[in-house]
Chains A and B, each alone.
Chain A
Amino acid sequence: MVNLTIDGKQITTSKTSTIYEAAKENDIYIPVLCYAKKLLPYGACRVCLVEVEQMKGRLIPSCTTPVTEGMVVTTMSDEIKKVRKTVLEFLLVNHVVDCPVCDKGGECDLQDLTYEYEVVTSRFEGEKFDLPKDEANPFIERNMNRCVLCGKCVRVCDEVVGYGSYSFINRGFETKIATAFDRGLDCEFCGQCVSMCPVGALLPRPFKFKARPWQLKEVNSVCGYCGNGCTVTLGVKDNEVQTIRFNDETGVNDGNLCIRGRFGYSYVNSNKRLTKPLVRRDGVLKEASWDEAIQTAVQGFKDAGEQVGIISGARLTNEELFLVKNLSKALGTENLDHSGGECYKGVTEGLLETLGVRASTATFPLVEKANAILAIRSDFYETHPVFGMVVNQAIRRNEAKLSIIADKFGKLSKLPNARTLLHKPGLELNVLNALCHVIVEEGLAKTEGLNGLDELKAALKEYSAETVAELVGGDADAIKQTARELAGAENAAIMLAYGLPYTAYSKELAIAAANLALLTGIAGRQGSGLYLCGEKANSQGAIDLAILPGGKGMGAQQMLAAAGSGELKALYLVGEDPLVSYPNRSLVEKALEKSFLVVQDIFLSPSAQMADVVFPAASFAEKAGTFTNAERRIQQLHVGIKSPGEAKTDFAILQLLLKELGTSAPATPAEAFKSLAAETPGYEMVSLDMVGPQGYVWGGDNLEPELKQLVPVAGAQPLADKYQLLVGSALYHSGTLSTHAKGPNAAVAAPYIELGREDAAELQLVNDDMLKLKTVEGEIQAKVKVDRRLPKGVFFTPYHFAELELNKIYSGQPAIAVEPVKV
């Protein structure tokens, strides 16, 4: 700690603080333009200059100067004021002062400082730039005439996002910020640059001329898409979410978002939202009253007796899931499950067998301090982009070593010094086994307290790095390097994402990852962690609340099979669209056709179109409650807008159903939380007032494993087929929900089949050609996207789009043998 004096106030602060940070901690105001909490010190704008008694003769930039013992700082004097004012004058020389039409007006740092320092006239004259606006993309408008060259966009894109869209070009007065070759911006459109811009140079296009900042009501909530659990602050006006506001004070994401979080909100305002309950009459879905719809549904359930199944989504709040559970009890059924029922199930079972827990063992921010990181699956960034940004920061700030076990290249592979352990499709397990083999063979394992070591050792014999490398088409030395880094690191992280398109070998994958986490000591060590990241906003909550088959109950796949065969009479789908997103379409189709079907959704999804009763539900922006993210952080949602028409929250709908069934239900989500906390392991001691702005991580920063059981798992064999299709997530989308949002759709509007250049050349395909993929089960077709990230013979398609009908050929296999035919 260091002691210093700022404006006469005695201050003690960390020796790594800068003068600015020390002042800020103590509520002493120093103006800044180029400073940003999450970026490295920069010191370019020079408005934060202060006087330091020990450094007389010049003014000192407070944002870059570290504190030293006994420093005496003055933050305001006539000279400081004059210099700051001159800096503002300089900036205004070539700034287009078009505040009346600038969306930043009212929250522009330059406008505010100009006002504060009363820069009423500009004594200088210089040319105003007249640079063309960059409107090449539908998300971000770049108006460089308003730029103050603080460099925040350049820095955040590099330091945080790891994309590197921007750079300075030219010099002197002509300096400006440009994209590659000064063409239009074309990137992953996360909008971090927009959120950092202190002026109106970078603006969110969907928000143009929608509202002045002071007209917006700000409501903190949690993003409804993935398990990252980012805080999204809704900017609300006229009962519409107009934009997502910058907020780096709340939650775990440090103000960072991905395209989905920042630009994918618009589905909540969609005019295609369901606004009235629907009941099937004479074979046609017709609008009905809530009373009728509820009564029809309950009657249908009653008619089915105990032959009812409930499949829930993982985007419901914990409180809603709690009511789903109550409903299953009220209906007397143990047939309860969520989200496909395969991937999360395998992953959590595997983890339970080895570590005795069913969640990530550490929190996201710890990854920034990791020295070695292993991502299993190249799609990790695509499924959890903001966590991917933390990985990037670990690499850039702390020189962390990143390895990726991948069947194709992805964003993570492009990060500095990333090592991609490329393998043929479906062989992740083999690579994980090889990593364990190296650690055991080289005596690097931390064996204390581990059970089953001998059995594992024996089973790993066939998985030497060389053998595996040959089988998977990889590099043995690279595998060894990764194993050594993971074993030798003080802090390390293993990350595995799961979700609907990744159902194969999920239990085995979790076990193999847990074996590695045990051998390296990562599981349970403070600062290190094994991360299991669910695809949906409340995937972890659904596991915590055990939205799972109880006793003799059936899981989702079994329920669908049973419904198809007539064994189950009624199905209740809460926020799920299995017809589009579950494997094995014919199975799903048959199940939905034959059963009495109740669907609860915000859109009339393909599954809903087959329903007997449809309940119009509310989006995340319309409800209160909690989500538990992939690092066990419980966070609160707040109501931003009213639901359209007669739509109700899932909570309210479930209340009605329970009431109709003659069962009592908690009156409010808050009351439901009390009850669910009492009976959910890990939540027992949690009350809502403990869930503050940063949420509450149940189990703490370091979740101690209850078991340390190594379990051998067998690897797989590669498919022999020449062409294989991988199924997965695309960066711009999440589940099927994002296909209703303008933002993600503006980036990727339709399904595509991605393939490498070599295959494209061989098959004589170019971008946007139509390609058909045939299998014995059926065929799909979509436009071609040629890229450099896929190995030869490997195709990729994202699973989000209904029109692709991917599950005609996808039934959960790791890779699908296909025959490509140009259409």
Chain B
Amino acid sequence: MSQVPQLLFKNRRPGETVFIDGYRATGGYQPLEKAFREMTPVELRELVKSSNLRGRGGAGFPTGVKWTFFPADAPGPKYLVCNCDEMEPGTYKDGELLMADPHQLVEGMIVSAYALQTDVGYIFIRYAYEKQAEYLRRAIAEAKEAGYIGKNILGSGFDFELHVHGSAGRYILGEETALLNGLEGQRPNPRLKPPFPATRGLFGQPTTVNNVETIANIPHIISGGAEWFRDLALTPEGSGTKLFGLSGHLNCTECFELPVGIRLGEVVETYGQGVWKNRKFKACLPGGASTPYLTEEHMDVALDFMSLEKVGSRFGTAGVTVFDDQTCMVAATLNLIQFFARESCGWCTPCRDGLSMVRWLLEKFETGKGSPEHLDMLKDQLQNISGNSFCALAEGAMGPVAGLLTHFEQEIIDHIEKGRCPFKS
């Protein structure tokens, strides 16, 4: 355990928060000084691109590539927005990161803004993260005091202002265009794409939206280099470390920084210290509530984007939620669908009404009123809803349903045949 390189969690101590002195003591703001004194924005963008850093917010889009869409050199107002609206069940890593070491995000925002030549940045933070927002505001004030934020940073001629904006707090605000609407004070519906935010985002101006963990990685890439960063991963195509938020039926449900590509089995056994109550592993969500289930047979799968896609799931946010063998997977899926159906913004039909109907079907099974026709209907909805909605929410919501049907169809049939939930006496 001790050999695992710690970047994001290197200053993390139980119950403590590191501010500017502690952050500097371990090399904080040296990458920023290096970037401003030695690197051009173009070099920075190239560096991030060659580091293979992929977005840590769930979709996993390569950050450097995303940045190439951004018109960094065009005149006029442009914005950098950090998505800290972390609200997916089983995902809490950004909150942990900010509780431990908020300056990482601040430094990351400044150097990213420099790379993208945006003079205003916003951190859009979940309403429930009151403490984190308070720490961020303090960190921003300290950075300003130190001359890292404001006019003519380190004599570079580059100006940057950074604001923390509290979210009104709904899951849909994590969708980047809904977030932009929310930031503008509008109802957070997702926006039509194209135009993409890089062309027309916040207040109609070019905007890049990146996740907290993504941005926090940038200073480390600057100090360690792209090759070092890529080599941190255990898979050849992966790069860097990842914050894994463990939850569910494990003996240890904490957040760990582990290399990308670590085996599922190692996460469960070594870090989660095995399934609780001496029970057996039944399934897990590998990357938050919107990723299809993995089962016992996947223990050797490397937790990385490509390898998880190959087995029909997704890396997502690396929030690993484990279910023991006494869990009813129908009930577990119903629980998730209740969340997603409630959090649908109500814009498009498949999500607004379709998810409600999936919830209704799962309720039928769970209460023993389901029929084989209902099972066919549920299968049908994978095609009717997934891929046909306005944004990715419904598609994500159908992830666990897809997993349920792939791995646990028999459990549904048991519910139908018994006319009750077999896990309830």
Contacts and interface: CB of A to CB of B under 8 A. Distances in A.
A124 interface: yes
B346 A149 contact: yes
B357 A171 contact: no
Nearest to A33: B349
B348 A171 contact: no
Contacts of B389: 46
A93 B353 contact: yes
B383 interface: yes
Nearest to B385: A86
Contacts of A44: 347-349, 390
Q: For chain A, which range describes its interface: under 10, 10 to 19, 20 to 34, or 35 or more residues?
A: 35 or more
Interface stretch (A57-65, A272-280, A417-425, A575-583): A57-65
Nearest to B340: A172
B282 interface: no
Contact of B384 (A64, A86, A173): A86
A94 B388 contact: no
Contact of B356 (A46, A47, A82, A126): A126
Contacts of A671: none
11 contacts: A46-B388, A82-B383, A86-B380, A87-B384, A90-B350, A91-B349, A126-B357, A149-B347, A167-B187, A171-B342, A174-B346
B341 interface: yes
Nearest to B359: A173
Given A87-B350, A90-B357, A172 B343 contact: yes
A764 interface: no
A83 B387 CA distance: 11
A271 interface: no
Interface string A90-102: 1101100000000
Interface string B342-385: 11111111101111110010000000000001000100110110
Nearest to B344: A172
A260 B354 CA distance: 41
B262 to A, nearest CB: 30
Contacts of A58: 386-388
A41 B387 contact: no
B342 A43 contact: no
Q: For chain B, which range describes its interface: under 10, 10 to 19, 20 to 34, or 35 or more residues?
A: 20 to 34
A360 B353 CA distance: 51
A46 B352 CA distance: 12
Contacts of B383: 79, 82-83
Interface string A45-71: 111010000000111010010100000
A808 B389 CA distance: 64
A784 to B, nearest CB: 35
A173 B187 contact: no
A86 B351 CA distance: 12
Nearest to A45: B349
B349 A172 contact: no
10 shortest interchain CB distances as A-B pairs = A175-B346, A58-B387, A90-B353, A86-B384, A173-B356, A172-B344, A44-B348, A124-B357, A87-B349, A44-B347
Interface in A85-117: 86-87, 90-91, 93-94
Contacts of A59: 387-388
Contacts of B357: 90, 93, 124, 126
A568 to B, nearest CB: 62
Contacts of A42: 192
A477 to B, nearest CB: 22
Interface in B243-294: none
Given A86-B354, A87-B349, A172-B344, 11 more contacts: A41-B192, A45-B348, A124-B360, A149-B352, A167-B187, A168-B189, A171-B172, A171-B345, A172-B352, A172-B356, A175-B352
A125 B356 CA distance: 10
Contact of A172 (B341, B384, B388): B341
A171 B387 contact: no
A705 B413 CA distance: 82
A147 to B, nearest CB: 11
Nearest to B341: A172
Nearest to A92: B353
B1 to A, nearest CB: 41
Given A43-B192, A66-B194, A94-B353, A171 B346 contact: yes
Contacts of B345: 171-172, 175
A77 interface: no
Contacts of A174: 346
B387 A57 contact: yes
A40 to B, nearest CB: 8
Contacts of A175: 344-347, 352
Nearest to B377: A123
Interface string A110-135: 00000000000001111000000000
A49 B388 contact: yes
Contacts of A61: 390
A149 B347 CA distance: 8
A173 B341 contact: yes
A59 to B, nearest CB: 5
Contacts of B341: 172-173
A2 to B, nearest CB: 15
Nearest to B204: A399
B220 interface: no
B360 A171 contact: no
B170 interface: yes
B227 to A, nearest CB: 35
Contacts of B381: 86
B373 to A, nearest CB: 8
A43 B343 contact: no
A126 B360 contact: yes
Contacts of A148: 349
Nearest to B170: A171
A664 B192 CA distance: 65
Contacts of A66: 194
Nearest to B345: A171
Contacts of B352: 90, 149, 172-173, 175
A125 B377 CA distance: 12
Contacts of B346: 149, 168, 170-175
B192 A168 contact: no
A167 B346 CA distance: 12
Contacts of A43: 192, 348, 390
Interface centre among B342, B346, B377 (most CB of A within 10 A): B346
Nearest to A47: B349
A83 B384 contact: yes
Interface string A13-52: 0000000000000000000000000000111111101000
B367 to A, nearest CB: 13
A82 B348 contact: no
A171 B390 contact: no
Nearest to A41: B192
Contacts of B348: 43-46
Nearest to A95: B353
Contacts of B350: 46, 86-87, 90
Contact of B349 (A46, A79, A125, A171): A46
A371 to B, nearest CB: 16
Interface centre among A83, A94, A149, A171 (most CB of B within 10 A): A171
A44 B347 CA distance: 6
A66 B347 CA distance: 20
Contacts of A124: 357, 360
Contacts of A149: 346-347, 349, 352
A168 B194 CA distance: 23
Given A58-B388, A86-B384, A91-B349, A172 B187 contact: no
A172 B192 contact: no
Interface in B376-419: 377, 380-381, 383-384, 386-390
Nearest to A175: B346
A172 to B, nearest CB: 4
Contacts of A93: 353, 356-357
A173 B358 CA distance: 12
A198 to B, nearest CB: 13
B302 to A, nearest CB: 25
Contacts of B373: 123
